[in-house]
Amino acid sequence: MKEGATIFQRRIVIGAAMCVAAFALVVVRLVDVTVFHAAQHRSVAAAIASYRTDLVDRNGEILARDIPVQDLYARPHAFWDASYAAHALSQAAGADEARLKRMFAETRKPYVFVARALTPDAQDRVMHAGLPGLEFQPGYKRYYPDGRATAQVLGRTGLDDDGETIGLSGLEMGLDQQLRDGEPGQSVALSIDMRVQYILAHEVEASRNEFSAKQAGGLVLDVRTGEVLGMVSLPDFDPNARTLGTGDTEHNLVGQDVFELGSVFKIFSFTLATEDHKMRPDEILPIGNGYKIGRFTIHEAEHMPATLAARDVLALSSNIGTTQIALRSGPERQRQFLERMGLLNAIHTELPEARRPQFPAHWGQVETATVSFGHGISVSPLAFAAAAAAIVNGGRKIVPTFLKHPEDGRGEQLIKPETSEKMRDLLRYVVTNGTGKKADVPGYDVGGKTGSAQKARIGGHGYEHKLVTSFCAVFPVHDPRYLVFVVLDEPHGTKQTFGFALAGYTAAPLAGRVISRIAPILGVPQHQDPIVVARGTP
Amino acid sequence: MIRVFNFFCIALMGLSILALYDVSEKTRLTRVDLDKTRHAIAQEQGQISVLETDWARVASPERVATLAQSKLGLDNSSAVQLSSFEQLPRNGEDSPLSQSPLRNANAEAPAQ
C-alpha cells in the first residue's frame, strides 16, 4: 500500500500552487493590459481624430474638413463686472452683447452659453480678455475653405436630434453615410477639379452680372468617364455661415431644377433623324412663315430664309425645319428614343436633390413638334448634359458621378458610332456657321448648340416674354473629352449685344470663355498651332 | 533540502511581487506619459488640420486670382498664348519655323 504525502510534500504542493496562481494572475493582467485595453485606447484616439471624413477634390485639395473648435460657456457668478464681461466676450467671440448682458443678469443657472464653434484664433482672443469663469467645450465645425465657390455642389451639414452632424444638402447629404463611416485620416475624393470649379463660378457670375440674369449655372462634364469636374449655381450661399444671407439660396439650378431648355434640345431631334436615316445634312427644307399642325402654328424665334439645308436648320436653329424632321420619326419613336437617352426618368447621382422630368402625358403630333425644339418637355441641365455627352462620346451611355473615377465609364451603346461622328460634325458647323459663333475658341474646335426658351407662365398656360438661354458645348469636337453646359435664367440684352438676350449673345460667349480658360489647364491638345513665334518674313 | 527549496520558492515569490510592482508602477507612469503624448499628438493633429485648412483657404484659386490681379496686375491668359511642348520647333527639323530667322520673341496669333 502506498503511503500518503508527508506534511512537507503537502506544503511544497501548496507553495507551488500559490506561485502558479500568482504568475497566472500576472499573465491574465498582462493580456488584459496589452490586448483589450490597447484596443480601447486606440478607439478613443480614433474617435477624437475626426467626426466626419474630409472631402477633397480630384487633385487632393481640401474642400471640406472638420476642424477642432470650442463651444464657450461662462459662469456669470464669477464675473466682478457682468456688463464689462458681456462686452469683452461679444468683441472676442462675436456673440450678441445684448443677449449676454440679459443672460448674465437674469439667469439662475450656473452656466450660460456664450458662443458656438470658436475657431482657434477666436479662442485666443477670448483667453486674452483675461476673464474668470470661462469654460470651453471641445467640438468640431465643418469648414469649407473655398466658401461660396463650392457651396451648391457640396451642400452643408447640421445637427440631428441626437446632436450628430449630418448632411443637410448637396454631396454632404448624398455621401452622408460614407462620410460618417470613413476612417480617420481618410478622405473622399470627388470628381470636382477646384481650378475648373473656380473658373466656372467666376465666369458664370460675371455673365449673370453682365446680363442681369435672375439665376445662372453651369457644369463641366467628362464625356468619357462621366465625372463632373465643376458645377455652379447662382445665387449661392456661404456654407461657413450659420444662416443664409439676403438673396442667398441652397437651391441648385443645375442639379435640382427642370427647365424647358428650348432649341438646345434640337440636338436630340437631329440625332434621332440621323440614326434612323430620316435626314441628309444637305437636303433642302421649306421654312416659310409658319408651319401648321392641326389648329396650332409653329413659328420661328427669328426671321429665317424661305428654304434651308438641314444642317442650316440646326445651325440657325429653325423650329419649322426641326419640326418637319422630327415628324418623320413620329411621336412613338421620338418618345422611345428620349426614354432610351435617359431624359424621361429622374437622374440618379450622388446629389440627392433630383426632380423628375416633366413631359406630355399624351404624345401626339403637336407634342412631337414642340418637344423637337425643346418646349413641352422639362429636364434638368445635369440630365441633359449626360444625354448630350452620350451623343458625342461615340454613342455610349454615361452616368454622371461626383466621385473621382478616372477610368472610362462609358456603358451601353445608345446610338451608332457613325451617328455620333455625324452629330459632332453638325455641332461644329453650328459654331462655325450658326448661332454658336461666339463660343468658338481658336485651337480647340468647339462644337455646340444654343438654346433660347421662353419661360412658361407659372400656374397657367402660355409663355412669358422672358428667356432661359443655354449653350451646350463639347471640345475638342472631333475627339470630345469635355462638355460644358451653361444656363442663364432671364438674361437681359445689353448695348454690346444690341439689346438681344438670345443664347447666341449671352450663353454662347460664356461657354467660350469657360472653355478658353479650362482647356489649357485640363491639358486638352490644340488642333492647330495657336502661336507663331517670329514669323519667317525677313 | 526541502527547507532550502521552500525558502527559495518564498524568496522567488517575494522577488516576483517586487518585480510585478515595479512593472506595474512603470506601466502606470508610462501610461500617464502615453496619455500626455496622445493628447499632445491630438493637439498637434488638430493644429495641423487647422493649418492645412487655412492653407487651402489662402491658396484657393479665387484668392490667388484676386491677389494676382490686384497686386501684380496679372490677368487670364488667352488660349492662343499657350502651346504645348510638342508644337515647338526643334533644331534640324524641316519645318518653316525651323528655317526662318528668329527676329523677335513676341507671340502673335495666326491670321484667320
Residues of chain A found within 8 Å of residue B61, distances taken between Cβ atoms: 149, 194-195, 198-199
Provide the domain count of chain B. Answer: 1
Residue B29 in any domain: the answer is yes
A54-189 against A197-241+250-521: fold identical? no
Q: Count Cβ atoms below 10 Å from residue A19 Cβ, excluding itself.
A: 15
Domain A197-241+250-521 has CATH 3.30.300.20: no
Query: b/e map of B6-31 (b: 16 or more CB within 10 Å)?
Result: eeebeeeeeeeeeebeeeeeeeeeee
Nearest CB partner across the interface for B61, out of A22, A68, A198: A198
What is chain A's pLDDT, residue by residue, as a tens digit (538 residues)?
Answer: 456 778 888 888 888 898 889 889 888 888 886 777 655 544 434 344 347 899 999 999 999 998 888 889 999 888 888 899 999 999 998 888 998 998 888 877 788 889 888 877 888 899 998 999 899 888 888 999 999 999 999 998 988 877 788 899 999 999 999 999 887 778 999 999 999 999 999 999 999 999 999 999 999 999 999 999 999 999 999 998 878 888 898 889 998 889 899 999 999 999 999 999 999 999 999 998 888 888 888 888 888 888 999 999 999 999 999 999 999 999 999 999 999 999 999 999 999 988 899 998 899 999 999 999 999 999 999 999 999 999 999 999 999 999 999 889 898 999 999 999 999 999 999 999 999 999 999 888 999 999 999 887 776 676 777 899 999 999 999 899 999 999 999 999 999 999 989 999 999 999 999 999 999 889 888 765 544 444 433 3
Residue B59 in any domain: the answer is yes
Predicted TM-score (pTM) of this structure:
0.80
CA dihedral sign, ordered B100, B104, B107, B110: negative
In B15-74, the residues whose Cβ lies within 8 Å of chain A are 16-17, 20, 27, 34, 38, 42, 45-47, 49-50, 52-54, 56-57, 60-62, 65
Q: Where are the domains of chain A?
A: 54-189, 197-241+250-521
Residue A500 vs residues A217, A436, A493, A525, B40: alpha-carbon distances, Å: 20, 14, 5, 34, 64
Closest listed residue to residue A485, CA positions, set A495, A493, A474, A494: A474
Domain that holds residue B35: 2-71
Nearest CB partner across the interface for A443, out of B80, B89, B101: B80
Residues of chain A found within 8 Å of residue B96, distances taken between Cβ atoms: 536
Residue B31 in any domain: the answer is yes
Q: Which CATH superfamily is domain A54-189 in?
A: Penicillin-binding protein 2a (Domain 2) (3.90.1310.10)
Residue B78 in any domain: the answer is no
Residue B12 in any domain: the answer is yes
Residue B96 in any domain: the answer is no
Residue B35 in any domain: the answer is yes
Give the three cell numbers for residue A512: 467660350
Residues of chain B found within 8 Å of residue A442, distances taken between Cβ atoms: 79-80, 109-110, 112
Decide if A140 touches B, using CB distance below 8 A. no
In A146-175, the residues whose Cβ lies within 8 Å of chain B are 146-147, 149
Residues of chain A found within 8 Å of residue B16, distances taken between Cβ atoms: 19, 22-23, 26
Report ipTM (2 d.p.): 0.71
Query: b/e map of A311-327 (b: 16 or more CB within 10 Å)?
Result: bbbbbbbbbbbbbbbbb
Decide if A238 touches B, using CB distance below 8 A. no
Map chain B to HEC letters: CHHHHHHHHHHHHHHHHHHHHHHHHHHHHHHHHHHHHHHHHHHHHHHHHHHHHHHHHHCCHHHHHHHHHHHCCCCCCCHHHCCCHHHCCCCCCCCHHHHCCCCCCCEECCCC
Is B83 close to A441, i.e. CB distance below 8 A? no
Residue A302: what are its φ and ψ, rounded to 5°? -135, 165
Residue B104 in any domain: the answer is no
Running DSSP on this structure, what letter comes out for residue A32?
A: I
Decide if A47 touches B, using CB distance below 8 A. no
Decide if A12 touches B, using CB distance below 8 A. yes
